[in-house]
Structure formats: C-alpha cells, structure tokens
Structure 1
Amino acid sequence: MNNSEQARQKQAIALRYDQQTQQAPKVVAKGSGYVAEQILATAAQHAVPVYKDTALASLLMAVELDKEIPPELYQVVAEVLAYIYRVDRRFVGSKG
C-alpha cells in the first residue's frame, strides 16, 4: 500500500474521559482500515455517538494507546466532547 492509499484509509480513535478521575481524555483504541471498522461497529453496538473529523483523527493517531491527549488538543477535543454530549442528551431525551 502506498502513502496515498494509506491516507485515504478510514481511521478511528476511541477516547475515554472521566472528569472525576482523569485530567484529560485518553486514547483507549485506535486503528485504520479493518480495525477502524471494528471500532466504529463497537460504537454503533453500544449507541456511542461518533464524531467525524479526518484532521483530528490524524493527530490523535499519533497519541500512544492509554495515554492522555496532549495539551495542544485539549480545546478541539473539548469541542468534540461538548458536541457528543449534546447529541447524546437529545437522543436520550427523544427516547423518554
């Protein structure tokens, strides 16, 4: 596979964040191609909202597994988490 094929390959990153026990979100899963598809399938199975941003995904792929995101990404990841929180609240609200 050449560099342009790798660049087009789907990537997925899963973050976990618990405000009470963590200072910043951690990368708990990441991968491309088949692994990315499995991460997305697992998210769908568990009704976990997915946020698509290829530039952010590329940056997060550089973060080691089980490591907190770097401070340079705090702002953009906070915006993503806020978006997901809003989507999740709407979804839960529409079920009741």
Structure 2
Amino acid sequence: MDAAPEDELPPSPSRRAAVALRYEAGEPAPKVVAKGKGVLAEQILARAREAGVYVHESPELLALLMQLDLDERIPPQLYVAVAELLAWVYRLEQAKRGGPPPGPFTPARNVL
C-alpha cells in the first residue's frame, strides 16, 4: 500500500497545523494572516493565546483553510462555517464581559 502524501495525513501532536484569520468590519470576508505546520503552527497558537485570541480546533475547517494562500480572503463556500465560528467567538467575548453564557459551538453539518 502506498503512503499518503504528507498534506493528506491527519495532524498529529508533533505535526500540528494552524491557520489564523482576521476579519474587520467593512471587509468583504476574513482573510488568512498566518498559517503553518509543526513549530510554526505552535508559534501561531502561542501568540494567539498570549494575545487572548480564542483558538478553535476543527480538522475539517483547518484542512480547507490550509489550502488558501496568505492574505487570501476565504471563499464564499466557507462563509457560513466561518460566520458561525465568529458568532461563537462573539458570544464567548460577551460572556467574558458578564453577558449570558454562550451555547456550544454547533457548526452546520452540511457546510464542512
């Protein structure tokens, strides 16, 4: 049996991957501002945590986002999935400020 190409292997703790998105009001869509595997992924995650940025793990969404180039906006096919994730982060931030507790993140099943 042939080995799977490296990009098709699931991430392992020693070969973790990460993608950072940025969205600002008025922009047409979030864009990829950082991405990497292994040590670079760990650095992205560490900087996010240091900055108080929420980190969400979704292997399916990660695989799709890793295909994008740096500074590339997410494609329309991912709008719903990313919008749901941003809404979840917004609810977490509101709860942190004393608002109602957020519900669980439940992505649409047919998006990813």
Q: TM-score, normalised by structure 2?
A: 0.74
Gaps of 5+ in 2: 100-112
Q: CA deviation at 1:6?
A: 4.7
Q: Secondary structure at 2:10's aligned position in 1? A: helix
Alignment of 1:41 with 2:41, yes or no, is no
- Deviations for 1:33-54, whole angstroms, at most 9, x for unmatched residues? 1111101100110111111101
Gaps of 5+ in 1: none
| CA RMSD after TM alignment | 1.9
Question: Are 1:27 and 1:65, in contact at CA under 8 Å, matched by a contact in 2?
Answer: yes
- Deviations for 1:22-69, whole angstroms, at most 9, x for unmatched residues? 100000000111111101100110111111101100100001100100
Name 2:18's counterpart in structure 1.
Answer: 12
Equivalent residue in structure 2 for 1:50, among 52, 55, 66: 55
Decide which structure has greater helix share.
1
Larger radius of gyration: 2
Q: CA deviation at 1:19?
A: 2.0
Q: Which runs of 4+ in 1 moved over 2 A?
A: 2-9
Q: TM-score, normalised by structure 1?
A: 0.86
| Identity in percent | 47
Deviates more, 1:6-15 or 1:78-87: 6-15
How many residue pairs end up in the alignment? 92
Report 1:1-96 matches (<5 A).
3=6, 6-8=9-11, 9-20=15-26, 22-93=27-98
Q: CA deviation at 1:83?
A: 0.7
Larger RCO, structures 1/2 (Cα 8 Å, 6+ apart): 1
